[in-house]
């Protein structure tokens, strides 16, 4: 299965926010507003994807970035897996389901930033 998300890829860990909940007297770290918007927009492109994958798969992600700025591939992969779980494409991102992420890489495409995701049964 191939999924294309035509949005500039964003990592989850950059610009996280610390919020304080008075009711439970604790601080929490939440994703940035930018990531929350990205996650919401990804949902539009995952609407028609197959749902509920719960068997071993390889997930290959090719990230086409808008700029040549350095970016952490692992953080991009983590964000992608969280989005796939949130929208039910995969049941969980544990190692029993996402067995490998072979072939993932970061590329540059100024005019067409996007994430191309291939999910292959193992």
CATH number for the region 2-121 comes to 3.30.1330.70
pLDDT per position as a tens digit, 35-47: 889 999 999 999 8
pTM reported for the whole predicted model: 0.86
pLDDT per position as a tens digit, 62-107: 999 999 999 999 999 999 999 999 999 999 999 999 999 999 999 9
Residue by residue, DSSP assigns 22-67 as TTTTEEEEE--HHHHHHHHHHHHHHTTS---B-S-EEEEEEEEESS
**Domain spans in the chain, listed from the N-terminal domain onward:** 2-121
């Amino acid at each position: 299965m191939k999924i294309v998300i035509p949005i500039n890829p964003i990592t989850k860990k950059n610009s996280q926010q610390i919020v304080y909940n008075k009711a439970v007297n604790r601080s929490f770290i939440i994703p940035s507003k930018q990531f929350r918007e990205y996650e919401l927009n990804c949902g539009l492109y995952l609407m028609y994807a197959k749902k509920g994958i719960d068997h071993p798969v390889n997930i290959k992600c090719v990230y086409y970035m808008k700029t040549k700025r350095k970016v952490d591939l692992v953080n991009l992969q983590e964000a992608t897996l969280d989005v796939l779980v949130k929208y039910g494409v995969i049941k969980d991102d544990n190692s029993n389901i996402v067995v490998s992420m072979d072939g993932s890489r970061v590329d540059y495409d100024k005019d067409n930033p996007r994430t191309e995701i291939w999910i292959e049964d193992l």
